Structure 1
Amino acid sequence: MSFSHELAGPGSLAGLPLVQVAWSLLYTFSFGLVLRYRVLAPLTQLWRHRLRVDHVVDEGAGVVSIILRGRHLNELNAESGQFFRWRFLTSATWRFSHPFSLSAAPHQQFLRITVKAIGGGTRMIHSVRPGTRVLAAGPYGAMTKERRQGRGVLLIGGGVGITPMRALFETLPVDGRELTLLYRASSAEEILFRDELEHIARHRGAQLIFLTGPSSDPRNAITAQSLITMVPDLAARDVYICASPRFSAAARTALTRAGLPRRQLHQEEFNF
């Protein structure tokens, strides 16, 4: 008995070398992309921009801001609302990268991020010292001024999700009379950047609203009616959200019921 003629055919073994070559090329190409963007690009950026920790500011409530000094930072083309993946080159932290948004508008020589101590990795970042070298991959994210569709803007930040909202509040090219920042925090003590936010609001003539206290308090409920009361022209605005999944879901539901078009909603989420 012989099976050789049944197994060999124009569509089986004859095509196998081509399939192997195709898969080999695909793996090589994928490896090249990983090597370029995950290894070579960050190392080139480290050499070109020389990012280091300049100083660390205790913001209270288990949060610190890290100010990073570097060279030619304008070449990064970073915008308010974007984030990088940061790797702090210390013996305890070099193996891990973390995504943190810029918490202030990018500057030619300085960048700022703000980190809440949530787990072991973020707690270790709190202990980095001035002079620590930093690898930054990015920028990433499209929650920038280019996303705008409407006339005015409502920014909604929850907890440490205020970080990209603070940068956007400062830089969005919109008339201050049509700019509102709504900031939800568990307590007044947990409000970050209060002085900065109030200064920006005064300087731009923008509206700043703090919602503090337990989410179970009806006065803190995010509903269609409460949003329309705070921002009567809501449906004509773009809305940017950065908050926990639970708060974001409640805000999305309220915004939809208030008549906000889906194309005018721009969002990032973070996990506690």
Structure 2
Amino acid sequence: MKYSLQSNSLSIQITKIGIELSSIKSKKTGLEYIWQADPTIWASHAPVLFPIIGILKDCYTLINGEKYFIPKHGLVRNSDKINLIHSTENTLQFRFSWDEETFQKYPFQFQFDVIFTLSDNSIKVEHIIENLGEETMYYSVGGHPAFNCPLHPEEKYEDYFLSFPEKETDSTWLLDENGLVSDKQKKILDNSSKLTLNKHLFDNDALIFKHLKSKKVSLNHVINGPILSLEFKDFEYLGIWAKPAAPFVCIEPWLGIADSSQSNHDFKNKEGILQLAPLKRDRKSFTITIE
């Protein structure tokens, strides 16, 4: 089942399962900007990441001394226990709440809402995380939208590049053979605001940036100029990823990161983990704009 919103410029769709943004389509040109989840390549559109990002070392974490097995990217992805709780002409609000099944994997009483707001050519994706319990809650949250690249059959992947508002000098943190963040780095940006895409850029998995000054990244065509942008002021980390040689690119704002290869499994000490006091809520949003 899918839900839809329309503006003068765009039509968008969101799946009930996993609350994935599954379509952003121009009403003028009919062009589709979101990857259409070809199962032979990568069967997702834009997973919602909560309460972890990436994977856990040895597939488990320790919370108050007990082992918990939280699946890769968390509990929302692929879940069918999501309800539409409110809608207007330009918004859809979905809710995913704790139950006995989630409590066995993640021992916190939470309420997790995602609100999609469509305004002309922009989509705001807002996450509301609420701690319903009586103890401090620990969590991460992030987005994983995949954008078609190239957009037209006559184009090449190498015709596209990502750009940042500021010149950046930053390295990616390399993943080890188990998909964990190692202590090794590789410089990707050297006083540059441009990252050219190529089919071997992701041969070693995602690019993981921890120290960007910019809070916005744009996808551009070398001749046609800006295609879309993603603004992520509420997020500390940025992931860039695609399946090697696949015709899409994921731009991923994160609050949190996959486990380190040196992790001691303690969830409270996990890099990037956030704390939320009892009966409090956090709001974290990013915005996609079609140029």
Higher fraction of strand = 2
The structure that has the greater radius of gyration is 1
Higher fraction of helix = 1
> Which structure would you say has the larger RCO, counting Cα contacts within 8 Å and 6 or more residues apart?
2
